[in-house]
Amino acid sequence: MSSDSATAATVDAATVRRIAHLARIAVAEDEVSHLQGELNAMLAFVAQLSEVEVAGVAPMTSVMPMKMKERDDQVTDGEIADAIVQNAPVSEEHFFLVPKVVE
* pLDDT, averaged across the chain: 87
What percentage of the chain has pLDDT greater than the value 70?
A: 92
Cβ–Cβ < 8 Å for 20, 28:
no
Cβ–Cβ < 8 Å for 85, 91:
yes
Quick: pLDDT tens for 33-80.
999 999 999 999 999 988 889 898 888 878 888 787 888 888 887 888
Q: What is the pLDDT of residue 66?
A: 79
Quick: pLDDT tens for 18-37.
999 999 999 999 999 999 99
The values of phi and psi at residue 91, to 5°, are -145, 160
On the 0-12 / 13-18 / 19+ scale of CB atoms within 10 A, 6 is exposed
- DSSP summary character for residue 65: -
Q: pTM value?
A: 0.50
